[in-house]
């Protein structure tokens, strides 16, 4: 299925952003571990979170988490400490996403987990029991979801957890987010240097409301940057957010967008003050890469974005996906060591009617839809992938004046 997206001439709209998927998924695990009588408020309605809600509320012993990578990682650790025998499986793409690092870590802490098909990949057979815990060393450049999965179950290990992160730690804000939410649920951690220590203990149940998603806001910053004269009120965002992606406000200031914090969220508008070149280390905000790369290319702003090593193991290989789809539009992007994307203005002949492939990746669809502003229209294949994090995205951009046609 494809859609064709047509832009407005300008736009002013108030957008009720979806709740943060990252916070929702962590809050669900912590809520379950605390045996809370409270329901987490304002949960994200994205696929990842819905899958986790169904799994946590189910009486089954086999869980199909489809393409939800966060759910696979968090549920693997969660089920490892829940007494019983469990099976975790997913989509064909999920069966190609490595999970050996997390499984090895859990097994070293006392878990018993088997691979049902290919070694190192889902599906998994998990024999849940009380985990021993103790000391563990992990490379700091692994996905922060592996680290967060371990941290959240750590209080229920007999010896707690002393986690040593070696080398460069990527996605620190996501680890901070996990620890801040754990603290809200009554468990303190010590993080000094590259060592995180969590003592044995238990979470306390609390009422909890999820804040809006800053990564979802990034697509509205992109639209505002490409559509001068537009203004958007983005509801539900917090200035002092636990989300590392809140840094999007700072990045887009260099792309001509001002951010005003209000009682209900933020107001953004184009001010025209743009940098001549964007140079950013996105180690702590890898989910903003697609938005920034596409925006800079379309505005003709050279860039060098580093710290992108985790993009190779996301929903798709996002580095290759970005290069492929931008080439269709006439932009030649270079990658260096699978961790840097760079562009100095190199162009090629664009396809006359490009069709943007989304690679089962929600962020590809949302980052490329605003291309319609510069081209007059753009065709997006498999638009329903946005359900992973922002199910109302197409409805929201229609409310802002975009037109969408099924083709």
Residues serving a catalytic function are: 287
Q: What are phi and psi of 235, to 5 degrees?
A: -85, 145
Q: Would you tell me how many other CB atoms lie within 10 Å of the CB of residue 141?
A: 18
Cβ-Cβ contacts under 8 Å for 290 (sequence gap 6 or more): 318, 322, 363, 364, 367
CA distance 252 to 191: 31
CA distance 237 to 18: 10
CB–CB of 387/216 below 8 Å? no
CA distance 75 to 149: 8
CA distance 141 to 170: 5
CB–CB of 163/182 below 8 Å? no
Q: What are phi and psi of 39, to 5 degrees?
A: -95, 130
Helix or strand holding residue 130 (H, E):
none
Residue 4: strand pairing partners? 379, 405
Structure tokens at 38: 């409270």
Whole-number Cα distances in Å, 145 to 78, 111, 157, 189, 213: 13, 18, 19, 17, 17
Closest listed residue to residue 286, CA positions, set 357, 180, 363: 363
CA distance 175 to 85: 29
Whole-number Cα distances in Å, 402 to 61, 399, 407: 44, 7, 16
Structure tokens at 180: 């801040």
Structure tokens at 329: 């539009």
CA distance 228 to 212: 25
First vs last C-alpha separation in the chain: 7
């Amino acid at each position: 299925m494809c859609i064709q997206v047509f832009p407005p001439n300008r736009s002013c709209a108030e957008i009720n952003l979806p709740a943060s998927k990252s916070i929702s998924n962590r809050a669900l695990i912590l809520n379950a571990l605390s045996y809370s009588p409270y329901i987490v408020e304002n949960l994200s309605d994205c696929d990842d979170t819905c899958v986790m809600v169904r799994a946590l509320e189910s009486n089954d012993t086999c869980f199909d988490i489809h393409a939800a990578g966060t759910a696979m990682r968090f549920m693997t650790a969660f089920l490892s400490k829940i007494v019983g025998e469990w099976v975790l499986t997913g989509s064909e793409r999920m069966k190609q996403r490595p999970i050996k690092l997390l499984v090895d870590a859990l097994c070293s802490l006392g878990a018993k987990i088997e691979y049902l098909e290919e070694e190192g990949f889902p599906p998994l057979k998990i024999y849940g029991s009380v985990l021993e815990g103790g000391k563990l060393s992990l490379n700091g450049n692994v996905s922060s979801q592996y680290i967060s999965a371990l941290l959240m179950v750590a209080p229920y290990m007999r010896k707690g957890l002393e986690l040593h992160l070696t080398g460069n730690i990527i996605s620190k804000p996501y680890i901070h987010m996990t620890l801040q939410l754990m603290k809200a649920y009554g468990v303190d951690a010590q993080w000094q240097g590259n060592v995180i220590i969590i003592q044995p203990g238990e979470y306390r149940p609390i009422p909890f409301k999820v804040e809006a998603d800053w990564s979802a806001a990034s697509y509205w910053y992109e639209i505002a940057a490409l559509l001068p004269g537009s203004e958007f009120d983005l509801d539900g965002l917090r200035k002092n957010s636990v989300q590392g992606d809140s840094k999007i406000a700072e990045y887009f200031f260099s792309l001509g967008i001002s951010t005003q914090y209000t009682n209900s969220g933020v107001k953004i508008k184009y001010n025209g003050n743009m940098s001549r070149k964007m140079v950013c280390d996105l180690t702590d905000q890898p989910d903003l890469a697609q938005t920034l790369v596409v925006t800079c290319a379309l505005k003709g702003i050279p860039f060098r974005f580093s710290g992108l090593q985790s993009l190779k193991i996301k929903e798709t290989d996002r580095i290759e996906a970005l290069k492929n789809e931008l080439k269709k539009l006439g932009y030649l992007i270079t990658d260096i060591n699978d961790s840097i994307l760079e562009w100095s203005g190199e162009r090629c002949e664009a396809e006359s009617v490009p069709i943007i492939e989304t690679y089962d990746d929600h962020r590809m669809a949302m980052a490329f839809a605003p291309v319609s502003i510069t081209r007059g229209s753009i065709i997006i294949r498999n638009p329903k992938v946005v359900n992973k994090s922002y199910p109302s995205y197409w409805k929201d951009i229609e409310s802002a004046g975009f037109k969408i046609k099924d083709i």
